Amino acid sequence: MTTTAAPPLPATPDYDAWPVEVGLARVDHDARLVTLTWADGRVSRYHAVWLRENAADETTVNPATRERILDLSRLAAWPTIDAAWLDAAGALGVIFAPEARTLRFHPGWLRAHDYDNTEAFDAPLVAVSIWTAAELDAPPSLDAAGWMDRDEHAEAGEALLEQALDKVLSHGLVRLGNLPTAPGSLDAIARRIGPPRPTNFGTLFDVRAKPDPDSNAYTSIALPPHVDLPTREYQPGLQLLHCLENSVDGGQAVMMDGFAVAEALRRQNPAAFATLTRVKWCYANTARTSDYVWLNPMIQCDAEGRLSEVRIADFLRGPLMAPFDEIEPAYEALMQLQRLLREPRFALRFNYRPGDLVIFDNRRLLHARDAFEGASGHRWLQGCYLERDEVRSRLRMLKRAARQRRVEALGQHVP
């Protein structure tokens, strides 16, 4: 007696792996809609036009790149459904008019993209947790001993990186301990996330006191809470600071959640908050060899009113150039914010240890430093910048690898 193997699941219009952990139980349709009932009782509806554009066949995407080549406007008419069924592989089969084209859809992919049962279409990859020093008395910390000695694609190494990036997106901050302290080793560490962003300070920059400094960071004086490079149209989204040496008296690091400060201002003085989201301040870094200037509000929110970035750096503000009637309200709002920045409840304080790497969101977290006595020892950090996009991309890739392992564990085909 011979048995016929079930046909493989169809490809998906991306490079991801989508485990089928809940199968389809029933398929219904009319001309413009497919209704799927899943084995756990969930009911999902998909429009014909949406399904047609998101098919994975060679008329819709280039199979070599998985980029769409279909132009819906070139179809003879609006795509409708002649037939829909559950096939032998557990996939959705559809015949589309006016093309009379039969296409198949992967059930795991459909379940993951069930827009009929999703409320937050633009939900962040990781939920944001706003904090003060009362909720966070030390940076979220992970032991990275031996991490750089392992293959970056080893499952244990990927697990540590996923935890780290999750904390960067949720809390804006993570500290990795016990990393190498060789000068320049930060470059290889950073590239496990993504390519560093070069600036006028170089790709890697040294944070230590030096003669003839071109930034207050390169002195031993205290630094107030600030973000880096607000003088750029697109300020770097991520900063990494890697401690190579630290034997000085003083120099304690300070971090605070700029979103927590901004939310406190919104609660206490909504008018001041609104002013700082509206008035464009001048940010300027007019050094001897460069002249960066950008105008931007100090606080920015997305279309839903959620905080998206802060640009706070008093020592990098140029003269305010705003409409005449906005000047005094703008300064009143600024001083309200400055008073909040001095409140100890926002300030998380800690010491750098050699081998520590602190990764933080430079468009959310403010960092500062106490003064230190330069003659008492050596304090040497190396830093670099990356973009938020690199964090999200890398985290999605790590989650993709985990999903592929689940697919393989379930014995399912990976298209």
Model confidence pLDDT, tens digit, residues 148-178? 988 877 888 899 999 999 999 999 999 999 9
Distance CA 104, CA 33 (A): 15
Domains and CATH numbers, the chain: 24-118 (3.30.2020.30), 141-397 (3.60.130.10)
Distance CA 81, CA 30 (A): 7
Phi, psi of 225 (to 5 degrees): -60, 135
Distance CA 71, CA 49 (A): 12
Is cis: bond before 98, omega within 30 of 0? yes
Whole-model pTM? 0.89
Distance CA 254, CA 348 (A): 6
Residue 93 confidence (pLDDT): 98
Contact, 179 vs 355, CB < 8 A? yes
- State the angle between helix axes of 327-341 and 258-268 in degrees (0 to 180), rounded to the nearest 10: 120
Question: With a cut of 70, which residues of the chain have pLDDT below it?
Answer: 1-6, 120, 211, 214-215, 374, 413-415
Phi, psi of 384 (to 5 degrees): -160, 170
Residue 42 confidence (pLDDT): 96
Residue 120 confidence (pLDDT): 66
The tokens of 271 are what? 């008018």
Phi, psi of 243 (to 5 degrees): -85, 120
